[in-house]
Amino acid sequence: MTSRSQSPLTRKLLAFVALSEAELGVLERLHQRRRTFAAGRDMVNQGQSDQAAYILSAGWVCSYKLQADGTRQIVDFQVPGDFLGLRSVLLRTSDHSFEPIVTIEAAEVLKADLLAAFEETPRLATAILWAASRDEAMVVEHLVGIGRRDAHARMAHFLLELGSRLALVGIGDKDGYACPLTQYHLADALGLSAIHVNRVLRKSREAGLMSFREGRVSYGDREKLVEIAGFDPAYLDHTGPLLK
């Protein structure tokens, strides 16, 4: 039930491009097929073909890949304003699975709708390419995190990134944000064991850096946290419209 100017995707894209009334109208049309998905049941499965994409308007989703041995690597979490499965539409076969973490609201976008929107307004295509580039930059950060950051820096970087992403679509505040993730989600995303996640979070809390309890991430000393993480939010590209 978001009005045009309040859709999280619109809000996010406006950070990149100043969209005209006509372009906002096309974007609104992409939001028409509203659907609700229950937590815990995959929306898109790895290897499935002919998928739709979704624009997430409320709730959190995790995207992951299962390995043959049953282990799971979480690639990223999607928050309101994010596309789900844009690659599934463009690459024909989905390269990973999506599972809602809570009940979510999302608009289904068929391939034909997306291509028609691009034909009608190339600036929207550029804006969506921007959003896809930003998504890729986040996956790169997760790669660097797993490859090169110790557990504390990795966790701090990850939770700061989530906070910045949510802030862009108007969720959370300077003290923290509501977060439905479990320690198992964090473990599968960060390549740590659940026990290790627990220990890292406890140490952060005891050091007064941040706490993650009862579904909320609260910053204690955000500046210090940024320093530990080496967090430079430039890759999230939030500095106002590039295309006028």
- Residues contributing to the site for a copy of itself (CB under 8 A): 16, 47, 65, 67-68, 71, 73, 75, 86-87, 90-93, 95-96, 115, 118-119, 122-123, 125-126, 128-130, 132-137, 139-144, 146-149, 191, 230, 232, 234-235, 237, 239, 242-243
Nearest to a copy of itself of 136, 173 (CB atom): 136
Taking the complex as a whole, the smallest distance from the CB of residue 195 to a copy of itself amounts, in Å, to 17
Taking the complex as a whole, the smallest distance from the CB of residue 119 to a copy of itself amounts, in Å, to 5
The pair phi, psi for residue 55, each rounded to 5°, is -105, 120
Taking the complex as a whole, the smallest distance from the CB of residue 5 to a copy of itself amounts, in Å, to 23
Nearest to a copy of itself of 108, 188 (CB atom): 188
Nearest to a copy of itself of 154, 222 (CB atom): 154
CB 52 within 8 A of CB 28: no
User: Distance between the two ends of the chain, CA-based, in angstroms?
Assistant: 28
Q: Which among 26, 32, 84, 86 is positioned nearest to 59, based on CA atoms?
A: 84
Helix (H) or strand (E) holding 15: none
CB 156 within 8 A of CB 190: no
Alpha helices in 57-216 (DSSP H): 86-90, 111-120, 122-148, 151-168, 183-190, 194-206
Nearest to a copy of itself of 30, 105 (CB atom): 30
Nearest to a copy of itself of 90, 178 (CB atom): 90
Nearest to a copy of itself of 1, 68 (CB atom): 68
The C-alpha angle 111, 114, 117, rounded to 5 degrees, equals 150
Nearest to a copy of itself of 2, 63 (CB atom): 63
Taking the complex as a whole, the smallest distance from the CB of residue 32 to a copy of itself amounts, in Å, to 21
CB 27 within 8 A of CB 124: yes
Taking the complex as a whole, the smallest distance from the CB of residue 58 to a copy of itself amounts, in Å, to 24
Taking the complex as a whole, the smallest distance from the CB of residue 216 to a copy of itself amounts, in Å, to 27
Beta bridge partners of 173: 176
Taking the complex as a whole, the smallest distance from the CB of residue 4 to a copy of itself amounts, in Å, to 22
29 three-state secondary structure: helix
58 three-state secondary structure: strand
Instruction: Provide the 8-state DSSP code for 51.
Output: P
Q: Which among 56, 132, 42 is positioned nearest to 87, based on CA atoms?
A: 132
